[in-house]
Amino acid sequence: MPPLLPSRLIFLMGPTASGKSSLAMLLAKFFALEIVNADSVQLYRGLEIGSAKPSAAERQAVTHHLLDVTTPDQPYSADRYREAAWGIIADCQRRGCIPLFVGGSGLYFRAVASGLVLIPPMDPAIRQRIKEEGERGGWPLLHQRLQQIDPFLAARITANDGQRISQALAVYEATGRPLSQWQQEQPPPPPFTILKLALLWPRAQLYGRIDARFEQMMAQGLLDEARHLWQAGYDRTLPAMKAVGYRQLFPFFEGTISLSEAVEYGKRESRRYAKRQMTWLRKEPDIHWLPPEGELEAIERVTAFLRR
């Protein structure tokens, strides 16, 4: 049997409230694509409104993958996501369909395209302790420690990059091996040919859409959904409990702020999240930027990609 050709994938990215889901539905119907969720919150059952999860009608109209695959007390790691996504890609390739990855979680797109460093599971307490040490004594001091442990990696990390410094030190403490060694042993990802599309909105318009959508979610029942999550007794450090749009409503349930303050808090943090998403996207190579209401350009891009 001849080897399979490299799989063709389409990535549809963009900040929250940019219109990814509606454009994805249009493209999926037009080209008979299958949608693969790349939003970390939509993986969790019970987080429907605040994650803008596709409706039952949308799921019936177009095949969707990786929705409702876990519960809030069972975190879904990026490594686990990659393995599941690669399995879906292989299945699509056998059936002759093209997967369309849609979402705003940049790490998941990167995990699919490039893989992730495979390291044994670590006790979160190690990372937390190192983080607290860095915040107390300053990250440059821990960067000096990293230079002794892993000079190759330290040379690529700035002295104030607390996230990467804490990760590298935690990996060494948990495994006894430098992170750079784990990275060098990472197997290459399967061969993919990827079309990357991203929606770009002027900031003021995007922020207006975010505020309006948050109000719409509140009208749809987000408050009750968040209250149910809050009352479930989950550990507050779980990723699902930190989801933007839910976490900001918790202080209202605790009686520390008013509902109007909680709503404004949710809008503000949603805007900040969108800003972080855009910062990540601007650093991502080979993206084709789509303007607002850019359906025709998206169709043209996908048509040219599928004709290669």
For residue range 272-293, list pLDDT tens digits in order. Answer: 999 999 999 998 999 999 998 8
| Residue 287 lies inside a defined structural domain of this protein | yes
135 shares a domain with 75: no
| Residue 1 lies inside a defined structural domain of this protein | no
What per-residue confidence (pLDDT) applies to 29?
97
Task: Indicate the average pLDDT of the chain.
Answer: 91
Last residue of a domain, one of 165, 184, 203: 184
Nearest to 174 by CA among 240, 120, 222: 120
> pLDDT tens digits for 18-30?
999 999 999 999 9
**Measured CA distances, 39 to 14, 42, 102, 195, 245 (Å):** 11, 6, 7, 18, 14
265 shares a domain with 226: yes
How many domains would you assign to the chain?
A: 2
Tokens (6 digits) for 93: 């390739």
Residues of the domain holding 266: 7-116+188-306
> pLDDT tens digits for 29-55?
999 999 999 999 999 999 999 999 999
| Residue 235 lies inside a defined structural domain of this protein | yes
Q: What stretches of 254-294 show up as alpha helix (H) in DSSP? A: 259-283
What per-residue confidence (pLDDT) applies to 293?
84
98 shares a domain with 14: yes
| Residue 250 lies inside a defined structural domain of this protein | yes
Comparing 120 with 96, the larger pLDDT belongs to 96
Distance from C-alpha of 211 to C-alpha of 196, rounded to nearest angstrom: 27
State pTM to two decimals: 0.80
Tell whether the model's pLDDT for residue 3 goes beyond 60: no
One-letter amino acid for residue 130 of the chain: I
212 shares a domain with 105: yes
CATH number of the domain within which 175 lies: 1.10.20.140
Sign, CA torsion 230/237/248/111: negative
Share of the chain above pLDDT 70, in %: 94
| Residue 2 lies inside a defined structural domain of this protein | no
Rg (CA), the chain: 21
Tokens (6 digits) for 153: 């990696």
